[in-house]
A and B are shown apart, each in its own frame.
Chain A
């Protein structure tokens, strides 16, 4: 029976071996993640972080446990340098080392005291506490708002890029088509120019 301290130490060790990924598309499944990361390091475990609080459109996040913390550093730095795509292009995923709070099954920190007490309404701190409560709610609202704004930004960028992509592809299609149906060749003959064959 491992003592609490040992368990916590083991847990912390696990945390140091875990990478946190986010900006994952909903199509990314555990097996995709696994195959992807196994190009670089042995994957010991994959766990998605469910999103219960935020807006429902937030991209997914996942925790991937590797076999050593050195690998974590490597993976994180590599993904930091080169955009890494998973299950779709071109939005890259993001990786960073995991922290203990990201895990939902973390053991209790040893020697931790939990205390709480009810405040007497006559206590002057009562008002302060009430204000803090209000502040918490305000903060939560702010966080939600920022999320919303971010999603809007993402949408905008996505649309922009989508348009650009479409125009490019149309252009290319056009080029291809005139090569294919001989228009280019005819024109070239007319003007005595050569047509480069690809």
Chain B
């Protein structure tokens, strides 16, 4: 029953092809497997372009049913492909190829539609590149010839991208979804010559109220009355207005029973949800906002508080703790301003810095001196607290493993921290744990600790330095306190102890040395501990010339001190520089503060002359650090202030001070988009740069023969 259209001049030619079967209530519907339209032969399961008037791009769909109704109307059922732009809201983060499509699957609006055959404007070459075992893999040539590719699916019900499907989509077996085994037909590069004249009256699938951003533009807002009664699928496929093909009443009856297949019936039921959800979906922003709004729990957190307060709190508390502890020991240590407390904290890590005062005394004896600011309270200023904790260098990595990241310097730090910890028992970042361990410590190790008197306002660092220098002069290297006996025992290192030669009268014992340094307490304390003082310490170190910048480190390193220790037997405090978005992914940097300028200079010089190779096969590069300190008045491009007289003061302030997403209906949006563009360009430039740098590095590394 080939329906021949009278060939008019402006009507495209049509001829039915292979028949399939009869259907419909009265068996008046003839299904076909192929047809020729406008000179192009189409077969079932071909991908075609369908044109809708007014849309800039044609839709792409797969013919999954072809039939002719009793009234000689030709219909096709089309399973849709989504372009990435149509589902961009749901693509979040997925990478899409330039010519990638997504095949609709699942249940819901947008899966498939019935359309008049005349909506077809051409064949489309869509290649399935899915790695599914059921899919014959395409050859390279076919890939080149393909106009579009797809390997992923978009579930219209769940509204998400899927990589795999089961066996049926819209009642079609997957083998028809995947590439044909016998792809004999030369792929017609579909002509996009949208022949509007022949199609204009026949466009299906539009609704007057389609909004531009609507993913499901193919689904029509089915008028409500249809839901209750007979769901009329054909209405979906047709224009509300003046579609000539829209012979609803006649069409309705027969094919309907046919249409009760899974795909379509589901379609009907799901159109119920259409109205509200569609309108909800229609605007991207709304959709997004809705989802986001729902999930906002109104936080009760006071926005002004936060880290600073916590820190202050800690400081305050620690202050108390400090005074408590100090009190019994030294009468005069009363009020410590936050400044002084800070200094003490400041000092603590500094104090850890190993001062290799005396290296000529027996090699076995490692001495660590910790010069504390000794503006002592009890005794004269000349008495310095020297906490000589020389930690033996952990030769074996075993040590390091046990105490991840803990190095001798850190142990020293721990010693000192331990003291600090004791003094601030209220702090909740796990000092209690430490204090426990601390209590266990042997009493023979003693840390001396003197505090800065409130009156002395000089920076602790300077003090420490001066003091230590003075101390050098006075005492000589022989006065060392031993500590860490326990430490050494725990880690099985040889550790020569010296009896404390420091006169006990000077230095009241602090019975709190660090026990097994099996963990790195810094991590917890560093949250507040390092934050405030680090910058200050850096500043002072920079002024004194003890700041060194290390480069070429493995970016994921944290304990730079280890390296310095291993390489130079110097201890220091170091911190990796935080990586930002434009930082190099290949190498990291760190700032290191040494105790003395000479050490710093020596280190830099040695690094420049010799090569210290690290485990990432890179030599360490060191230089005198020259940090920038972010100033308050740095220039920021991109924020404008309009003339105040134009707007009401309040409005203006509100607009600026409320952080908001810009909506596309104002000039602000356009300008913002320009900035986004600039940002994207910059990102690309960075990635190119780093890629090239990475290449250069790799080439050099390959030349290295020694492996660390």
A104 is contacted by which of B296, B518, B575, B672 (Cβ under 8 Å)?
Answer: B575
A to B contact number (C-beta, < 8 Å): 353
Which has the most chain A C-beta neighbours within 10 Å: B308, B578, B661?
Answer: B578
Are B639 and A89 in touch, CB under 8 angstroms? yes
A20 is contacted by which of B433, B556, B581, B701 (Cβ under 8 Å)?
Answer: B581
Are B299 and A102 in touch, CB under 8 angstroms? no
B577 at the interface (CB under 8 A from A): yes
Please encode chain A, from 36 to 63, with 1 for each CB lying within 8 Å of some chain B CB and 0 for all others.
1011111101110111111111111100
* Chain B residues in 8 Å Cβ range of A71: 295
* Interchain CA distance A41-B293 in the complex, whole Å: 9
B189 at the interface (CB under 8 A from A): no
Please encode chain B, from 665 to 695, with 1 for each CB lying within 8 Å of some chain A CB and 0 for all others.
0011101111110110110011001000100
* Chain B residues in 8 Å Cβ range of A165: 640, 642, 667, 671
Are A49 and B288 in touch, CB under 8 angstroms? no
* Interchain CA distance A148-B418 in the complex, whole Å: 45
B297 at the interface (CB under 8 A from A): yes
- Determine how close the nearest CB of chain A comes to the CB of B588; give it in whole angstroms: 7
Are B661 and A42 in touch, CB under 8 angstroms? no
- Determine how close the nearest CB of chain A comes to the CB of B61; give it in whole angstroms: 27
Are A90 and B404 in touch, CB under 8 angstroms? no
Are A129 and B662 in touch, CB under 8 angstroms? no
A42 is contacted by which of B297, B583, B655 (Cβ under 8 Å)?
Answer: B297
Are A50 and B630 in touch, CB under 8 angstroms? yes
Residue count of chain B within 8 Å CB distance of chain A: 123
B380 at the interface (CB under 8 A from A): no
B535 is contacted by which of A50, A83, A87, A112 (Cβ under 8 Å)?
Answer: A50
B520 at the interface (CB under 8 A from A): yes
- Of all chain A residues, the one with the shortest Cβ separation from B551 is A136
- Determine how close the nearest CB of chain B comes to the CB of A117; give it in whole angstroms: 6
B635 at the interface (CB under 8 A from A): yes
* Interchain CA distance A60-B639 in the complex, whole Å: 14
* Chain A residues in 8 Å Cβ range of B618: 132, 136
* Chain A residues in 8 Å Cβ range of B689: 142-143, 146
* Chain B residues in 8 Å Cβ range of A117: 612-613, 706, 708
Instruction: Please choose the segment from A155-163, A178-186, A190-198 that sits at the chain B interface, where 4 or more of its residues have CB less than 8 A away.
Output: A155-163
Which has the most chain B C-beta neighbours within 10 Å: A87, A113, A136, A146?
Answer: A136
Within 8 A of A (CB), among B180-203: none
Are A101 and B556 in touch, CB under 8 angstroms? yes
- Of all chain B residues, the one with the shortest Cβ separation from A164 is B671
Contacts A57-B634, A132-B552, A153-B682; A105 near B301 (Cβ below 8 A): no
Are A92 and B672 in touch, CB under 8 angstroms? yes
* Interchain CA distance A135-B614 in the complex, whole Å: 16
- Determine how close the nearest CB of chain A comes to the CB of B297; give it in whole angstroms: 6
Are B706 and A30 in touch, CB under 8 angstroms? no
* Interchain CA distance A26-B635 in the complex, whole Å: 8
Which has the most chain A C-beta neighbours within 10 Å: B404, B557, B681, B685?
Answer: B404
Instruction: Please choose the segment from B16-24, B148-156, B250-258, B562-570 that sits at the chain A interface, where 4 or more of its residues have CB less than 8 A away.
Output: B562-570
Are A41 and B295 in touch, CB under 8 angstroms? yes
Contacts A84-B660, A104-B578; A116 near B613 (Cβ below 8 A): yes
* Chain B residues in 8 Å Cβ range of A139: 584, 586-587, 693, 696
A61 is contacted by which of B562, B581, B674, B708 (Cβ under 8 Å)?
Answer: B581
- Of all chain B residues, the one with the shortest Cβ separation from A173 is B646
Instruction: Please choose the segment from B171-179, B317-325, B620-628 that sits at the chain A interface, where 4 or more of its residues have CB less than 8 A away.
Output: B620-628
A35 is contacted by which of B530, B659, B681, B708 (Cβ under 8 Å)?
Answer: B659
* Chain A residues in 8 Å Cβ range of B651: none
Are A83 and B661 in touch, CB under 8 angstroms? yes
* Chain B residues in 8 Å Cβ range of A4: 404-405, 519-520
Are B523 and A7 in touch, CB under 8 angstroms? yes
Are B306 and A45 in touch, CB under 8 angstroms? yes
* Interchain CA distance A104-B522 in the complex, whole Å: 11
Contacts A26-B636, A107-B405, A132-B697; A116 near B615 (Cβ below 8 A): yes
B360 at the interface (CB under 8 A from A): no
* Chain A residues in 8 Å Cβ range of B668: 85, 89-90
B433 is contacted by which of A1, A82, A100, A107 (Cβ under 8 Å)?
Answer: A1
Are B551 and A140 in touch, CB under 8 angstroms? yes
* Chain A residues in 8 Å Cβ range of B527: 105
Are B610 and A56 in touch, CB under 8 angstroms? no
* Interchain CA distance A6-B670 in the complex, whole Å: 47
Contacts A90-B675, A101-B556, A117-B708; A51 near B405 (Cβ below 8 A): no
* Interchain CA distance A143-B689 in the complex, whole Å: 8
Which has the most chain A C-beta neighbours within 10 Å: B614, B659, B674?
Answer: B659
B700 is contacted by which of A30, A52, A128 (Cβ under 8 Å)?
Answer: A128
Within 8 A of A (CB), among B635-651: 635-640, 642-643, 646
Are B578 and A130 in touch, CB under 8 angstroms? no
A87 is contacted by which of B639, B663, B693, B701 (Cβ under 8 Å)?
Answer: B639
* Chain A residues in 8 Å Cβ range of B588: 101
* Interchain CA distance A128-B697 in the complex, whole Å: 11
- Of all chain B residues, the one with the shortest Cβ separation from A145 is B689
- Of all chain A residues, the one with the shortest Cβ separation from B677 is A157
Are A105 and B693 in touch, CB under 8 angstroms? no
B307 at the interface (CB under 8 A from A): yes
* Chain B residues in 8 Å Cβ range of A27: 636, 639
Contacts A55-B628, A132-B618, A169-B643; A87 near B659 (Cβ below 8 A): yes
Within 8 A of A (CB), among B233-269: none
B631 at the interface (CB under 8 A from A): yes
B308 is contacted by which of A30, A53, A74, A99 (Cβ under 8 Å)?
Answer: A30
* Chain B residues in 8 Å Cβ range of A142: 689, 693
A25 at the interface (CB under 8 A from B): yes
Contacts A53-B627, A86-B659; A119 near B706 (Cβ below 8 A): yes
Are B523 and A105 in touch, CB under 8 angstroms? yes
* Chain A residues in 8 Å Cβ range of B657: 32, 87
* Chain B residues in 8 Å Cβ range of A106: 523, 558
* Chain A residues in 8 Å Cβ range of B578: 49-50, 101-104
* Chain B residues in 8 Å Cβ range of A52: 538, 577, 591, 627-630
A111 is contacted by which of B306, B401, B637, B697 (Cβ under 8 Å)?
Answer: B401
* Interchain CA distance A116-B708 in the complex, whole Å: 6
* Interchain CA distance A109-B620 in the complex, whole Å: 20
Instruction: Rank and list the top 7 A-B pairs by shortest CB-CB distance, nearest first.
Output: A91-B638, A108-B405, A88-B639, A36-B659, A83-B672, A129-B611, A158-B637
- Please name 18 pairs of A and B residues whose Cβ atoms are closer than 8 Å in the assembled complex, sorted by A: A3-B519, A36-B659, A41-B296, A45-B306, A51-B630, A52-B627, A84-B660, A89-B655, A108-B404, A109-B404, A116-B563, A116-B567, A123-B706, A130-B619, A133-B608, A133-B611, A153-B678, A157-B678
Q: Report which A residues bind B (CB closer than 8 A).
A: 1-4, 7, 11, 20, 22-23, 25-27, 30-32, 34-36, 38-43, 45-47, 49-61, 71, 73-74, 77-79, 81-92, 94, 96, 99-119, 121, 123-126, 128-133, 135-137, 139-140, 142-143, 146-147, 150-151, 153-155, 157-158, 161-162, 165, 168-169, 172-173
| 18 further contact pairs, Cβ within 8 A, besides A25-B639, A139-B584 | A1-B437, A11-B523, A30-B307, A41-B295, A43-B301, A53-B628, A54-B580, A73-B93, A79-B661, A85-B668, A88-B638, A89-B640, A90-B672, A119-B610, A125-B706, A139-B587, A139-B696, A146-B582
